[in-house]
Amino acid sequence: MAASSTSFFFFTYFLLMLLVSPHVITSCQSHNLLLKRQAKTLVSLKQAFVDYVSSTLSTWNISNYMFLCSWTGITCDITKSVTSIDISNLNISGSLSPNIHQLTRLQILNISNNLLGGNLSLEFPRLNVLQVLDAYNNNFSGLLPLGVTQLLQLKHLNLGGNYFSGEIPLSYGTLNQLEFLSLAGNDLHGPIPRELGNLTNLRWLQLGYFNQFDEGIPPELGKLVNLVHLDLSSCNLMGPIPAELGNLNMLDTLFLQKNQLTGVLPPQLGNLTSLKSLDISVNELIGEIPIDFAGLRELILLNLFINNLHGEIPQCIAELPKLEMLNLWRNNFTGSIPSKLGMNGKLVEIDLSTNRLTGLIPKSLCLGRNLKILILLDNFLFGPLPDDFGQCHTLSRVRLGQNYLSGTIPTGFLFLPELSLLELQNNYISGQLSEAKSSASSKLEGLNLSNNRLSGALPSAIGKFSGLKNLLLTGNGFSGDIPSDLGRLKSILKLDLSRNNFSGGIPPQIGNCPSLTYLDLSQNQLSGPIPVQISQIHILNYINVSWNHFNQSLPEEIGAMKSLTSADFSHNNLSGSIPESGQYLFFNSTSFIGNPYLSGPYLNNVTSNTPSKRGDGSDNKTKVPTIYKFIFAFGLLICSLLFVVIAVIKTRKGSKNSNLWKLTAFQKLEFGSEDILQCLKDNNIIGRGGAGTVYRGTMPNGNHVAVKKLGMSKGSHDNGLSAEIKTLGKIRHRYIVRLLAFCSNKEINLLVYEYMLNGSLGEVLHGKNGGHLQWDTRLKIAIEAAKGLSYLHHDCSPMIIHRDVKSNNILLNSEFEAHVADFGLAKFFHNNGTSECMSAIAGSYGYIAPEYAYTLKIDEKSDVYSFGVVLLELITGRRPVGNFGEEGVDIVQWAKRETSWSKEEVVKILDERLKNVAIGEAMQVFFVAMLCVEEYSIERPTMREVVQMLSQAKQPNTFQIQ
C-alpha cells in the first residue's frame, strides 16, 4: 500500500513538471533577453563617454550582462528593469548617448559633477516615468531642453553649472509635480518667466550665479507657498523686491544678494516666520530696516551689507532669539548699536563697519561666549572697550580701528587664546600694555595699535606671540628700551615702532627674526650703534632708523643684504664714511642726510637720483689690451661651435629614439607623437616663458595646436609632474585652455594645448595694437578670466592654485574670449632659471602677493592678488612694473597713490588709448581690483565673489575720454 502511494506521488510530480517547465523556461529566457537588451544600451552609453579611469565603469561589459543590476551605479526593480543610473562624480567626459531613451523604466538619472558636453536634446517622452534628472556641473551647452516638459512625473530637475544659453522656456511652468528646480550657473538671459509661479509643489528654486536676467523678480513667485529655499543671487536682477515674497511662509532661505535691486526692504518679509537665512547684500536698496523684521524669530543669518540703507538699526534686530551672524557694513546707518545686541547669547559674527554709528559698544556682545568675529571699524563710536572683551575666549578677529574709542585695553584682551587679528588703530586708547598673566596665543598674526595714546614700556610678553606677523605700534607714546624678546618673533614680517619715545639701542636679537621684511624704528630716541646683526635678516627689504641718535659708523655688512631695496639712516649722529659697496651703491642719496659727521660721495649732491655714480667713472676705467679682446672673442667662437655640434648630435639621437616617446591623450586625437615632434622647429616658436618654449603646429587634419616644451628635472624622476599633468588634463571649462595631450620621454615633456589665435592678453594689451582692445572687450576678458580661475579654486577637487596668474597667462581665441593657461605648473619650474621674469619663488614680478614673497607660503588668495594686478593692467594699459616715476614702485602702489584708493578717481589712471569708457563700469572694476590687492590675504575676496562683482559692472553712464 505504501509502495503504491509513493509511485502515485512521483507520477503526479512528473506530470506537474511537464506542465510548468515551459513557462519557467520562457520566463527565464524573457528575463535574459531584457537584461541583454538593457546591457547593450548601457554599453552604448559607455562608448559615448571618455572615461579616464578605466576601472570606473569596468563592470559595464556585455559579457557580464547577467549581473547588470550590480553594475556600477545601476539599480533595478524586481523585474530586472533598470530604474536608476547614478554615475555622478566619475570625471567622465564625452556626450550622453540618445540611446538612453530605450531604458523606459528609468526613474532616476544622475550624471552630475562630470565633464559631459554637447546638448541635452534626448527623446524625453519615452522616459515617461523619469522622476529625477540631475545634470549639475557638466559642460552641456545650447538651449535648455524643451523635452523635459513632457516628463509628467518629474520631481527633481537640476541643470545648473553648465553652459546653457537663451531664455528659460515658458513651458517649464507646466512641470506641476516639480519639487526641485535649479538652472543656476549658466549663461541664461531674458526675464524670469512668471509661469514658474504655477509650480506650487516646488520646494527648492535656484536660478542665479552667472545668469544675466532682464527685468526683476516676478511677483508670481509669491504663489510658491511650499517653497523652502529661494536663491536668485548674482543674476543681474533689477527693480524692487516684490512684497508677495512675504507669502512664502515655509521659506527658510532667501538669497537675493549681488544684484541691482532697488527700493526699500518690504515690511512683508517680516511674515517669513520660518526664515533662517536672509541675504540681500550688494544691491542698491534704500530706506530703513522695517520693524516688522521682529517677526523673523528663526533668523540665524542677516546680510544687508553694501547697500544704501540708513536710519537706526532697530532694537528688534538685537532681540531676535536665534541670530548668530549680523553683517550690515558699508551702509549709512546712524544712531547707536542696539544695547541688547548679544543678549540672546548666540552671536558668532558681527560686522557693522563703514557706517555712521555712534555711542558706546554694547557690553553684551559676547554674553554667550560664542562671538568669533567683531568688526566695527570706520564709525564714530566712542567710550571705553567693554571689560568683558577680556573674557571673550572665542574671539578670533577684532577690527575696531578708525573710531573715537578711549580708555584702556581690557585686561586679558591681547592674550585671548583664539585671537588671530586685533586692530585698534586710529583711536584715543591710553594706558599701558600689561604683562601676560597666562600664556600668549600662538594664533595672533596681526596686532595694530598705531595712532593711539598708549604709553609706558613695551612688555617683554610681546615676544610670546610666536605666530605674530604684523606688529604696528607707530604713533603712540611708548618709552623705555625695545625689549630683546622681539627676537623671539620668528614669523614677524612687518615691525613698525616709529613715532614713539623708545630709548636705548636696537636689541641685537632683532637679527633672530628671519622672516622680517619691513622694519621702521624712525622718530624715537634710540642711540648707540646700528647692530650688525640686522644683516642676518636675509629677506629684509625696508629699514628706516631716521630721526634718532644713532652714532658710530654704518655697518658694512648691511651692504651685503641683496634683498634690501630701501633704507633711511638720515638725521642721526652717524660718523665715518658711507661704505661704497653692495646695496649702499643703490640707496637714495637722501638716506644719509642730517648726519654731520658722516662723509661720502652721496653727501656731495643730496639731490642726485643716481647714487651709483661716484666721481668720474671715465677716469677710472681700466683699458683692456687688444690681445685679450681677441682671445676672448676667439674663445667665444669655439664655445659656440661646440654648442652647435652638441645640439646637432642630440637632435639626431632624439630622432633615433622617437619610438621611446609616450603619448597620454586626454580626448580622442587624430594625430600621434610623430606629428607633435614635427612642430618642434625654430620657425614655429611663438613664445618663451618661465615654464618653457611654445611652438605652433599644424596637425594632419589641418587643426592648429600649441606645443609647450618643458625640460625635465635633474635626475630620472619627474617629481610628480606626470601625475599632476593627468589631473590637469581632466579639466574642461569654457574659459580654461584645454590640455589635449601629454607627450614625454626621459629628457623632455611636451604639453599639447588647443591653439589660441590672438596670443596672450599681455602681448595684445602692451603691444602696438593694444589700443584696439577697447573697454567692452577688456571687461569681457576680465569676467571670463575670473570665471576660469573661480572654477580652479571652487569647482575642482582638490582645489587648483594657479601660482602664476598674469596677463601673459591669459590667452585669447579668435573671438577675443579669455582662457586661463599654465595653471598648476609653476611649482614644477620655479628653479630652472629659464626666464628673467620668474622670481626665485613661483610667480612673476609685479604679480606676487606680499605674503607669498615674504613667507614662501601660498594659497588661493595669492592668485586673487595677482588677478587684481591684471585688472589694473586692463584699466590703465600699463605693465605691472616700470615707468612709474620712481624706483621700486609697481602698478599697485602707483594706482593707490594716484587715486587715494578712491574709485571716483579712476579717471586719473585710465588708459589714454581708450575711446569710450563706461565710467561706472571702470569704477566697479577698479573697486574690485583694490579689494583683490589688499595687503592682508584674509581681506581679499574669493574668486567666486570677484566674478559676481565684475558681472555687476554694467552701468549706463558713459565717460568720453578727452
- Catalytic positions: 804
The span from the CA of 894 to the CA of 880, in Å, is 10
The span from the CA of 943 to the CA of 932, in Å, is 9
Q: How many CB atoms lie within 10 A of CB 112?
A: 19
The DSSP call for residue 168 is: -
| DSSP SS3 for 645 | helix
The span from the CA of 39 to the CA of 63, in Å, is 9
CB 80 within 8 A of CB 102: no
CB 260 within 8 A of CB 237: yes
Q: Interior CA angle at 679 toward 674 and 681, to 5°?
A: 125
Q: Cell 596670443: give the residue.
A: 759
Q: Tell me the angle at which helices 775-794 and 943-951 cross, rounded to the nearest 10 degrees.
A: 150
In angstroms, the Cα distances linking 331 to 129, 284, 286, 355 are 51, 10, 9, 5
Residue 297 has phi, psi (to 5 degrees) of -70, -15
Instruction: Tell me the β-bridge partners of 741.
Output: 665, 752
CB burial readout 7-40, b (16+ within 10 A) else e: eeeeeeeeeeeeeeeeeeeeeeeeeeebbeebbe
CB 393 within 8 A of CB 372: no
CB 851 within 8 A of CB 836: no
The span from the CA of 754 to the CA of 736, in Å, is 10
The span from the CA of 114 to the CA of 795, in Å, is 11
In angstroms, the Cα distances linking 596 to 566, 577, 581, 590 are 22, 11, 21, 13
The region, left, alpha or beta by phi > 0 then psi within -120 to 50, assigned to residue 282 is left
Which residues are within 8 A (CB) of 861 and not within 5 positions of it... i.e. 6 or more apart? 849, 937, 938, 940
The span from the CA of 188 to the CA of 168, in Å, is 7
CB 792 within 8 A of CB 801: yes
- What's the one-letter identity of residue 30? S
The span from the CA of 2 to the CA of 6, in Å, is 6
CB burial readout 761-790, b (16+ within 10 A) else e: bbbbbeeeebeebebebbbebbbbbbbbbb
* Cell matching residue 243: 512684497
* Cell matching residue 881: 612694473
| H or E stretch covering 480 | strand 477-481
In angstroms, the Cα distances linking 833 to 563, 711, 718 are 18, 11, 17
Q: Helix-strand-coil percent breakdown of the chain, rounded to 5?
A: 30, 20, 50
Q: Cell 626665485: give the residue.
A: 840
The span from the CA of 783 to the CA of 775, in Å, is 12
The span from the CA of 107 to the CA of 579, in Å, is 83
